[in-house]
Amino acid sequence: MNFEFTPLLTAQAPDVTALVTHRGFNACCYAGADVASAAEGRRLIARHFGVGDDAVFMPRQTHSARVAYAGEDLDGVDAMVTGRRGAVLCINTADCLPLLLVDTVAGVIGAAHCGWRGTVAGIASRTVERMAAIGADPSRIVAAMGPCICADCFEVGPEVAAFFPAQALVESPGRRPHVDLGAAVSLQLVASGLWHESIARPMACSMHDSRFHSVRREGRDLSYRTLTAIILNI
């Protein structure tokens, strides 16, 4: 299995290690991938971070706004938080926005799967709230967004656009509205107490950049997912 990746948060948060995997790697089985192959991907992640398999936390995402603590039941969960060093929080995406959050002073991290449904339900804000409940200060939190579909590519119908604030929409006469997921998530984070300067917008468009998986580019039967992970260094 190919295991290439791009590091995240290296300059902003030296107390954590974070990455986003490239095409050819997969650790997600709930989208229909071979279970044994996905398990091998999970083992590769554990070995890369130098932890046991039981320290890798990966929810079964359902486009909800549910947030759990690492170690709780992760079925139907789309975001996790922890203050435990050595716990790897993993999010799987293929056009949705993977969000990583860290307060290095408090030693608290979070990871969220921000699809459009979860975003309009406030999953970014809820993740910050859960982090604050275990000691994080929103004004200290640094945020990084992995690859997701960009505003140029994310065309939606008016019924979906109606859920988003105007600042997260790109509208022009004669064409359908487009959603800027990065802007929508950023608005939630700033409203939750993060500094705008502490928020890194999406690193790439998953549709344009062939390093990452995209359901819109590769088709709805795609069983592979891009994995975005973060760990508080031991």
CB 43 within 8 A of CB 58: no
Q: Is the pLDDT of residue 12 over 90?
A: no
The percentage of residues in the chain with a pLDDT greater than 90, rounded to a whole number, is 94
Q: Is the pLDDT of residue 194 over 90?
A: yes
CB 228 within 8 A of CB 98: yes
Count of beta carbons in the 10 Å neighbourhood of residue 78: 28
Per CATH, the architecture of 5-232 is what?
A: 4-Layer Sandwich (3.60)
Q: Is the dihedral of CA 186, 188, 189, 191 positive or negative?
A: positive
Taking only Cα atoms into account, the Rg of the chain, rounded to an integer number of angstroms, comes to 17
Distance CA 184, CA 196 (A): 13
CB 31 within 8 A of CB 213: no
Distance CA 79, CA 99 (A): 9
Would you place residue 1 in the very low, low, confident or very high pLDDT band (cuts 50, 70, 90)? confident
DSSP character for 181? Answer: H
pLDDT digits (tens, 9 = 90+) for 126-137: 999 999 999 999
Distance CA 2, CA 198 (A): 32
Q: Is the pLDDT of residue 66 over 90?
A: yes
Token output for 111: 């990871």
Q: Is the pLDDT of residue 184 over 90?
A: yes
What is the model's pLDDT at position 137? 98
Q: Is the pLDDT of residue 2 over 90?
A: no
CB 95 within 8 A of CB 150: no
* Amino acid letter for position 114: C
What is the model's pLDDT at position 60? 96
What is the model's pLDDT at position 123? 98
Longest alpha-carbon distance in the chain: 54
Distance CA 203, CA 17 (A): 16
What is the model's pLDDT at position 11? 85
Q: Is the pLDDT of residue 174 over 90?
A: no
Q: Residue 109's closest CA among 230, 7, 198?
A: 230
Alpha helices in 6-79 (DSSP H): 35-49
What is the model's pLDDT at position 210? 96
pLDDT digits (tens, 9 = 90+) for 80-121: 999 999 999 999 999 999 999 999 999 999 999 999 999 999
What is the rounded average pLDDT of the residues 178-190?
A: 98
pLDDT digits (tens, 9 = 90+) for 32-63: 999 999 999 999 999 999 999 999 999 999 99
pLDDT digits (tens, 9 = 90+) for 143-168: 999 999 999 999 999 999 999 999 99
